[in-house]
Amino acid sequence: MKVTTPPIVDSHELAKRLHETGGHEALKGDCRPVAEILVRIGDKWSVLIVMLLGAGPRRFNEIRRLVDGISQRMLTLTLRGLERDGLVTRTVFPTIPPRVDYALTDLGHSLRQPITALGEWAYANRPSIEAARTAFDRAAAKRNG
């Protein structure tokens, strides 16, 4: 079975393609791989863990205590996925009991800026979004009843 990967496009080339075509149409061939990455980095647990590890390495139980509501299984799966994608490293220290630290890679650190920008956008636009939701819900209630 032959596996092909899309050519790597630098950010300037991508911006140029997006501008020339008027949007996401420039990405048609690249959508599936991008979607897979967005699934990983877009889930709430990954976002929280990346931002938490931005302050430095943490142990598993420390992360679990600091990320409210995450189960042990979900934390394990999320950390494994982040490690697989090259965003997090897992370091085992030969102590008794073994100590395991998780830390961001350079790639993981590079994700902090867009996550921060998205969080700031969400915070700044929260009142507008809540107003839109309220208006939508009122209109839906009138239509239904």
pTM of the model: 0.70
pLDDT, tens digit, for every residue of 100-138? Answer: 999 999 999 999 999 999 989 999 999 999 999 999 999
The reported pLDDT for the residue numbered 33 is 79
Cα distances (Å, whole numbers) of residue 23 to 10, 14, 26, 60, 103: 16, 10, 7, 41, 35
C-alpha 7/C-alpha 30 separation (Å) is: 9
Give the Cα separation of 120 and 102 in Å (integer): 26
Among all chains, which residue has been given the structure tokens 């239904």? Answer: 144
